[in-house]
Structure 1
């Protein structure tokens, strides 16, 4: 039986767990620091906190971190990696991922997402429902592309950045690390590290 542990009993975690089952994982359980107050996440059990997961890694075939905050997700990935965890990679069967694209372990690609040829998706990324990442894009670790957001060809996104719901990024744009692109923004110029941009065209706030 294939057993998957998910750290983070969140709403996002429910979508990860549902996708995992669709991808053939037969046993999916959560770990969350709200345990034991929280014992279930939807239909799935919460069996312990983060420390408990570290002690029980050998009981699972793989782990995923289902924490929406990119910075925290990156921290948890580093802790689990140092402990020797094996990370799953979930590609929903209703997603379209080019055979010439690469998606690193720890990442999830949800239903309706499109990843085109020679796109490179780093560790622990979230490609959410109905988003698109076009040819030759590079997303570093723990990037989140929200539902309905679109990256044109050759876009580069730095570690831990968040592309908001419905945002669009013009071809060949460079977005730095730790950037927040607001919902519905249209990014037509490069964005430096650690800032928030919103609007049409997107501007620094």
Structure 2
């Protein structure tokens, strides 16, 4: 895993070419994030969108649709990619298909998110941290972690690769989310609780005890859904 401590986090060179994989709503939100970053420090030359499902129109938010993952892999020159796919499993599947050594995956952090060296926060490649997020200290985010609008992450929390937090989700201190966890809007994981790999926490649920891998939990307190046979 490539880990980037925020003390090492620097904006790229002006005019760095970048494309967005994911031509849906999250892709348009990531485009907005990139424009907000450029307003603070002009860095990204956003060329357009890729998606394996072509959009209904040839342009998305004023930028062209450029093709599929196969087309992106065929790029002849270095290109940065923002993977704007909300589902943890789907995002991991997309990244697995993007195999060209010409592609890089920068961490994108909203310019108003307060992060600094004294907070000791580690970011993996491809992380996206949107506006209004609050992270405290001694936090580890793996590769391609998504923090949507207004999320909070407390001290000593660990979010492994491909975790996804939807708007206003909250991860308390020393909680651990295994790879591919998904927290719905306004979901909360309380202090010290562990959520197993690939598990889904429904919108508004509050996780007060450890959850195993690959379950869906809903409610307050969160309980695993039981599937009728």
TM-score using structure 2 length: 0.84
Contact 1:125 1:142 in 2 (8 A): yes
Secondary structure at the residue paired with 2:90? Answer: helix
Task: Indicate yes or no: 2:202 matched with 1:182.
Answer: yes
Paired residue secondary structure (2:77): helix
Aligned to 1:8: 22
CA contact (8 A) 2:69 2:97 kept: no
Maintained 8 Å contact 2:121/2:137:
yes
Equivalent position to 1:202, from 222, 226, 229: 222
Q: Is 1:137 aligned to residue 154 of structure 2?
A: no
**Once the 2 structures are TM-superposed, how far is the Cα of residue 104 of structure 1 from its aligned partner?**
1.2
Give the 3-state SS of the residue equivalent to 1:58 in structure 2. coil
CA contact (8 A) 1:124 1:142 kept: yes
Indicate the SS of the match to 1:3. strand
C-alpha distance in 2 between matches for 1:36 and 1:70: 21
**Map of 1:83 onto structure 2:** 100
Q: CA RMSD in A?
A: 1.5
Partner of 1:21: 35
In structure 2, the partner of 1:64 is: 82
In structure 2, the CA distance between the partners of 1:98 and 1:176, relative to structure 1 (3 Å rule), is farther
Instruction: Give the TM-score normalised by structure 1.
Output: 0.93
- The Cα of 1:57 is off from its aligned counterpart by 5.8
Count of residues paired in the alignment: 203
Q: 2:148 aligns with which of 120, 125, 128?
A: 128
The match for 1:74 is: 92
Deviations 1:160-191 (A, max 9, x none): 11011011111010001111101111110000
What SS does structure 2 have at the residue aligned with 1:47? strand
What is the deviation of 1:88?
1.2
Q: Kindly indicate whether the alpha-carbon contact (under 8 Å) linking 1:146 and 1:164 is maintained by their aligned counterparts in 2.
A: yes
Which ranges in structure 2 are unaligned for 5 or more consecutive residues? 1-14, 39-43
Rg comparison, structure with higher value: 2
Structure 1's unaligned 5+ residue stretches are none
| Partner residue, 1:118 | 138
